[in-house]
Amino acid sequence: MTKGQIEAKISEAVSKFEIEYMGRGPKQIRTLIIQDLIIIRLKGFLSQSEQKLAENSQGVELLKRVRTTLFENARSYLETIIKDVVDVDIISTHSDVSTKTGEKIIVITVGENLEERFEK
């Protein structure tokens, strides 16, 4: 598979994960592989009630805490589905939500430079 095909498969898997484990899929998703990093950017994944909740600082704090807890509880499953696509060890997984833009970023560090696979 090409780099673009792998990135698309990761996007598809993460979108499915978001629907099944986080309750809602993103309107847009993009995955980039850069050396030993997989960067996934999700847009439009907050529900209307979450957007309303994020209108004040207490709501932002609560929303981030709930989303982080949900993500942490399902982290091993996400790492498994990513590993199924790229067939490489996952070193670490990081995630953050922007309540201002409605975006979520997931950064995954893997055990080898994935771009080298595509340079051959």
What are 58-81's pLDDT values in tens digits? 999 999 999 899 889 999 999 999
Compute how many other C-beta atoms are within 10 angstroms of the C-beta atom of residue 17: 19
Residue-number span of the structural domain to which 106 is assigned = 3-111
- Tell whether 9 is covered by a domain: yes
pLDDT at 119 over 70: no
- Tell whether 118 is covered by a domain: no
- Tell whether 19 is covered by a domain: yes
Q: To the nearest whole percent, how much of the chain has pLDDT over 90?
A: 73
- Tell whether 58 is covered by a domain: yes
Give, rounded to a whole angstrom, the gap between the first and last alpha carbons of the chain: 12
Phi, psi of 77 (to 5 degrees): -65, -45
- Is pTM beyond 0.95? Reply is no
- Tell whether 119 is covered by a domain: no
Number of domains into which the chain is organized = 1
Report pLDDT digits (tens) over 75-109. 999 999 999 999 999 999 999 999 888 899 999 99
Q: Which amino acid is at 102?
A: G
What pLDDT does residue 120 have? 53
